[in-house]
Structure 1
Amino acid sequence: MQTDSSVALLNANYNPTPTSVDNTEQNDALLKEQTDKFEAFFLKQILDIALSSDEEGGLYEKDAGDKIYKSMYNDTMSNALSGNLGLSEMLFSYLKEER
């Protein structure tokens, strides 16, 4: 018995192309997400430098995991602040014009 798989192959390669409006909106959303992530990375670098004090009575006491706690705190703060500083919006506008 022979099985006809031509219809299955056609359906496997079926990829409906979205309209250009949907594609543009999706690209803008992805670009905005990436610029927000870049801003979060930039803010984390700033926070790492600003909060890297070796003085007594800092935010975290000296123990085995103090570097981990500082890094986790800086990650959370940078993600919370990203998108609100203006760097992300400026970069998004510049990259959108270049397309």
Structure 2
Amino acid sequence: MQTTDSSVALVNANYSGAIKHVDTNAKNDATLREQTDKFEAFFVKQILDIAINSEDNNENSLFPKDAGDKIYKSMYNDTMSNALSGKLGLSEMLFTYLKEGR
């Protein structure tokens, strides 16, 4: 009668399960980071909208009064908020808080 050593198969099964768990956590962390960065971008855009709109009464504003000034302001605020997202600390703070709550 021939015996088969299945210990290697069992060890591999255990390690592959651990690797899948680590990959899932890394994927979840990346998704969470992306969402917290998007929230920070939204938050910064809201602040920029208020700041840019408050200078409408100023004659030396960033965007002169013309037919497309609202479109330019919106595009500018979108670009700036996306560029600043993840760099102000709000995203990091929110990411850490939500990750601990899992």
TM-score by length of 1: 0.80
Runs of 4 or more above 6 Å deviation: none
| Aligned residue number for residue 10 of structure 2 | none
- Greater helix share, structure number: 2
| Aligned residue number for residue 36 of structure 1 | 37
SS at match of 1:31: helix
Superposed, 1:1-99 pairs within 5 Å as 19-52=20-53, 53-54=55-56, 55-99=58-102
Aligned length: 83
Q: After TM superposition, give the deviation of residue 57 of structure 1 in Å.
A: 2.2
1:16-75 CA deviation, whole Å, 9 max, x = no partner? Answer: x98111000000000000000000000000001111112212111111110000000000
Higher radius of gyration, 1 or 2 = 2
Deviates more, 1:17-26 or 1:68-77: 17-26
Q: Any unmatched runs of 5+ in structure 2?
A: 1-16
Identity fraction in percent: 73
TM-score by length of 2: 0.78
Q: Which amino acid aligns with 1:25?
A: A
